[in-house]
Structure 1
């Protein structure tokens, strides 16, 4: 386990314990009209983020919560490591640097001074965020850094986020699925509206340094998906590398090691990892409402075609 991963477990476990005794009214803060968890970030941190300087070789992953970013984050790290072929000494140096800098697992987490400390990280930096484009630092789009954007169909995202919300001590829980569904459709959740987030990224889909990939595509053929990602970032791996990484990062393999890799958070993070579980909770009226909303926001777009909405989201 990397030193940074050890520290991430310590940080999240501490935040989880803090959340268990925190009044629901204190759990969230609002920044530019969007809610965020108060134990993990602050308005000052998000303000400081504006001046963050991206490097041309940064490996950036963006996605709305519960679209599979934790899964793809692990894949990316394995792909980058296999391409770099670090020696043991180089790997140790990177781990030591990460630990000393006390960095967070998401770009928008941590204290305002984190971005200054990130300047001392060796390249290539892997950066993961749930933020939409307009809240990312301008340097992300002005540099030649490449951004991989992960999307997932809204129905499965909604169900996964619902279970996450109600199991996560850092977030106020919902009394029912119906109450939560209204909040999801109105964007009254942490990180805001799924639809606003996805529509905004779709507008960047033709940018040469941005690649969109869907959770469903990775589920269908993980190796093929990883090959596309490797080609986008310029990674060079063997067939054996892809096969090994696919086995190591399968949902079941990651769930089995979740306590080792994520501590107590592992029980919250890993649930089913399947496509289609939305059918267990959606009513007929909710299903129709979501179909209308998706068509209104994303109908006919490149992103909608990639997501195969008609295949995975029709009753």
Structure 2
């Protein structure tokens, strides 16, 4: 691919250039990995993909999926989840990340763990993922909260332990990054196209693609955990229900628990392409509606109007539109 011939844009938050490929925007290292994946990755019918756009609940979805899939059978000899790897590892380190781990971990991944994770949009997934009939679980989030989380995440990478001393410059960058996000020129964007691709797939293939809304999972996590277990083919038994296994998984994967674990507060950094990321950067607030503390009224109206136009005729409504 001749990179000089494809559109590019400067990403202010991640301080790198994004390249447009198949309608979406990627940093160079992710783009190169994506092309390799499309040419070489072979999915298995038993694979289960955990998917989300950046900063739309990806870290949490991976934790929930891993805890549900691996309960008792591999780690929990005392039946209370106290030996689960999530207590000592970031969820991104226990579930292989397709774009980042393809050349290493995925080729030699644990054959007993069917989980894989990706930020890739549905239309860019390798052909074998679509044709194999493997299951896909997708998490979407209200775009205003997604943007605020996206902004803060990349600020943590660029300005670790910084109190934003150059407030005017940061404010201007925030407004410019908001404009780029709304134009679809963000990492993995356009956000609305990403969401709609999986939404339509979930309608066309309801037994293969499960579409979740972050706000609904947050509002009733126990119900969602049971729904996830049912979808992946591992529903909770009566014995497990009596022993409160679903509730324990909710507690294990809660924001309060994960964010306070030593590994996620002080752990080693996770390498993402050329970037080094503190584990704590993946845990900010984990709440819905935080956009109200950051977006001006005009910004809210702009993004709500884009959502209205983009979702027109799709029957999709985000989990929270207030």
In the superposition, the TM-score normalised over structure 1's length comes to 0.76
Residue of structure 2 in register with 1:279 after alignment? 292
4+ runs of 1 displaced by more than 6 Å?
Answer: 23-26
1:217-261 deviations in Å (ceiling 9; x for gaps): 111011100101111111133221111111111101010011366
Residue of structure 2 in register with 1:213 after alignment? 212
In structure 1, C-alpha distance between the alignment counterparts of 2:61 and 2:14, rounded to whole Å: 32
> Could you tell me how far 1:187 is from its partner in structure 2?
1.5
Structure 1 residue ranges without an equivalent (≥5):
1-22, 95-101
In structure 1, which of residues 196, 200, 215 is the aligned counterpart of residue 197 of structure 2? 200
SS of 2:249 mapped into structure 1: helix
Against the structure 1 CA distance between its residues 103 and 52, is the aligned structure 2 distance closer, same or farther, given a 3 Å change threshold?
farther
1:96-154 deviations in Å (ceiling 9; x for gaps): xxxxxx998421114x6348724x53133211111101111011111121000101111
> Could you tell me how far 1:162 is from its partner in structure 2?
1.1
Against the structure 1 CA distance between its residues 143 and 259, is the aligned structure 2 distance closer, same or farther, given a 3 Å change threshold?
same
Residue of structure 2 in register with 1:10 after alignment? none
RMSD between superposed Cα atoms in Å = 3.0
In structure 1, C-alpha distance between the alignment counterparts of 2:121 and 2:297, rounded to whole Å: 30
SS of 1:303 mapped into structure 2: coil
> What aligned pairs does 1:1-315 form with structure 2 within 5 A after superposition?
27-30=16-19, 32=21, 34-38=24-28, 41-50=29-38, 51-82=40-71, 84-85=73-74, 105-110=96-101, 113-114=103-104, 117-118=107-108, 121-169=110-158, 175-206=172-203, 207=205, 208-237=207-236, 238-239=240-241, 240-257=244-261, 258-259=264-265, 263=269, 265-304=278-317, 307-308=318-319, 312-314=320-322
> Could you tell me how far 1:292 is from its partner in structure 2?
1.3
In structure 2, C-alpha distance between the alignment counterparts of 1:26 and 1:75, rounded to whole Å: 31
Against the structure 1 CA distance between its residues 284 and 174, is the aligned structure 2 distance closer, same or farther, given a 3 Å change threshold?
closer
Query: How many residues of Structure 1 are paired with residues of Structure 2 in the alignment?
Result: 271
In the superposition, the TM-score normalised over structure 2's length comes to 0.75
Against the structure 1 CA distance between its residues 226 and 175, is the aligned structure 2 distance closer, same or farther, given a 3 Å change threshold?
same
In structure 2, C-alpha distance between the alignment counterparts of 1:106 and 1:191, rounded to whole Å: 15
> Could you tell me how far 1:37 is from its partner in structure 2?
3.9
